[in-house]
Structure 1
Amino acid sequence: MVKSQSPLPYASRFKLSVAVVALALALPDAGPAWALSELQREDVQIPEETEAGDEIIREQLPPPPGTEETPSDGANDAPSPSESQGEDRPSRQIGPVPFPDPVVIPQNTRRADEESGETSGSDVPVPVVEYDTAKLPEPVRRLREEIMAACLSGELERLRPLLQTGENATQLSFGSIPSDPIEFMRSISGDGEGHEIMAILYEVLASGYVLEEIEDDQMYIWPYFYSVPLDTLTPAQRVELFQLVTAGDYEDMKNFGGYIFYRVGITPDGRWQFFVAGD
């Protein structure tokens, strides 16, 4: 028969519990914390809360003088200036943080050129120049072909049914014209018969074209020199221009600031809107 051992006296059990608690506080990194349920709690009273004025001092790393708050897991980190001053601001990294370079908005190139007395078309948007007539709407393509065929016939009268009349009449001049548009075209032709003006009209429609917005309406315009700045023309494009004007005319246009010779405008629904020259 095994004889049971007698339990420890009360004083011994109390001293043992106190020693266990002291050992757990002195060695926080020695291993997992002991559960309080493993202690003899019936004889050891543990305060539920720590009074605000109590100061906890650790033996391994004592807190800075005057610190009254319990350090967190990052107690080894130095307090930030905002914490030491008691300010409620977000924490920042230690050391200066470089700021990005300021955004510089370039000056208006055209305005700078005008102030310096120089002109440049580098800031002028250049429209897309087209040569493919297959890209034209069918009404525009058909009217263009009919006008060019009438011009090649040498018969000025064949242009009459293609001209708009009435309130939306085809514009042939910036000033007033006679009531008969065909007679007016004959009068402005250098040969007096209308053959020169028909040759000009044909060459204009044979050049490249652009699509532009004019008075809130789209317009197909020949030649594209009307919409493209002259100082941006390539050598090949200048050769195309000289099929319509002379070198002297070209210099006059550069001094004026744009193409001012004859041009044709046709609306997307196939209406001949204008055939004019000048500014």
Structure 2
Amino acid sequence: MLSRSKLSRRDRLLRAVSVGLAVAVIGASPALALSDIRQLPASSQDPAAPEDKEKLDTRPDTGLTGIPDPDPLIRKPGDNPPPASTTSDSDEQPPEVIYDLSKAPEPVRRMRELLIEAAASGDVERMRPLLNPGPDQTQIALGTSDADPVAALKQLSGDEDGVEVLAILIDILSTGFVHLDAGTPDEVYVWPYFAERPLALLTPPEKVELLRIVTAGDVAEMQDLGNYNFFRLGITPDGRWKFFTSGD
């Protein structure tokens, strides 16, 4: 059982360091003045006025002789192009939550397995070769002062040996994930999916998954902030552990 009191203190520290249709108007003709309405044929009242018949503006089978046709309320396709869409970026749907690991590339699946295996050992040193030491070293959460990634992991843990952070890592990798920025240099597979999904959209089963990682008090704080701000982990399509960070 994780020490949630220690987790909350660490969590607050990390947050302190790491804390952002237009209406289509259909054109209508101006209203007709009374003077624009032609007189109805006098013949209907006075058969002795043949000259009025010549003035009569007749239209076949309309029943509205003498009244000019207004612009049609229903336009045919091509008469007037519809207004451009005004959908904004804020209307974009959150990325798909994926549980089927077969939808991730084999290198991603392999790295996930290696991370879980190393974390389950309880020995934080077994994470070292997976942290990719060098210029492309795994980015560890802000708030750690040690350049050594293993030492940085220990700083994130509520215990001196880094066991707690290993347990958190396993919990995160046990949830669904999302695929972000496909086809770009920033393409990455991210666990848990809460990092990219509004908390207000979570279903009851998804809330259970979230509470396996954080406390109810943490969730309440996240809802106040509007987003998940606990740990997240990213793996690139070629199987590199890209980051293990926290925050907004």
TM-score (norm 2): 0.65
The alpha-carbon deviation at position 96 of structure 1 amounts to 3.9
1:162 corresponds to:
130
2:72 corresponds to:
98
- CA RMSD across the alignment: 3.4
1:267 corresponds to:
236
> Does the CA-based 8 Å contact 2:144-2:152 persist in structure 1?
no
The alpha-carbon deviation at position 187 of structure 1 amounts to 2.4
Please give the residue correspondences for 1:178-257 in structure 2 after superposition, counting only pairs within 5 Å. 178-213=146-181, 216-257=185-226
Alpha-carbon deviations, 1:161-192, whole Å to 9, x = none? 00122221111023563132112211221121
Q: Which amino acid aligns with 1:252?
A: E
Structure 1 residues 125 and 155: alpha-carbon distance in aligned structure 2, compared to 1, 3 A threshold:
same
Higher-RCO chain (CA-CA 8 Å, sequence separation at least 6): 2
Q: Which amino acid aligns with 2:247?
A: G
Take 1:248 and 1:176, find their aligned partners in 2: how far apart are those partners?
A: 24
> Does the CA-based 8 Å contact 2:181-2:187 persist in structure 1?
yes
Alpha-carbon deviations, 1:24-83, whole Å to 9, x = none? xxxxxxxxxxxxxxxxxxxxxxxxxxxxxxxxxxxxxxxxx9xxxxxxxxxxxx9899xx
Take 1:236 and 1:104, find their aligned partners in 2: how far apart are those partners?
A: 41
Take 2:243 and 2:200, find their aligned partners in 1: how far apart are those partners?
A: 25
2:40 corresponds to:
none
Alpha-carbon deviations, 1:191-239, whole Å to 9, x = none? 2111100000011011100001187521100000001111111111111
Which of 145, 155, 159 is equivalent to 2:113?
Answer: 145
Structure 1 residues 140 and 109: alpha-carbon distance in aligned structure 2, compared to 1, 3 A threshold:
closer
Please give the residue correspondences for 1:19-58 in structure 2 after superposition, counting only pairs within 5 Å. none
Take 1:147 and 1:257, find their aligned partners in 2: how far apart are those partners?
A: 30
SS in 1 for 2:140: coil
Take 2:116 and 2:95, find their aligned partners in 1: how far apart are those partners?
A: 25
The alpha-carbon deviation at position 100 of structure 1 amounts to 3.0
5+ residue gaps in structure 2? 1-50, 60-67
Alpha-carbon deviations, 1:134-157, whole Å to 9, x = none? 221111100100000011111111
TM-score (norm 1): 0.58
The alpha-carbon deviation at position 108 of structure 1 amounts to 7.1
Structure 1 residues 124 and 229: alpha-carbon distance in aligned structure 2, compared to 1, 3 A threshold:
farther
Please give the residue correspondences for 1:50-69 in structure 2 after superposition, counting only pairs within 5 Å. none
Alpha-carbon deviations, 1:95-139, whole Å to 9, x = none? 4452238968898799xxxxxxxxxx9x44121101111221111
Whether 2:106 is the aligned partner of 1:132: answer no
Larger radius of gyration: 1
Whether 2:227 is the aligned partner of 1:276: answer no
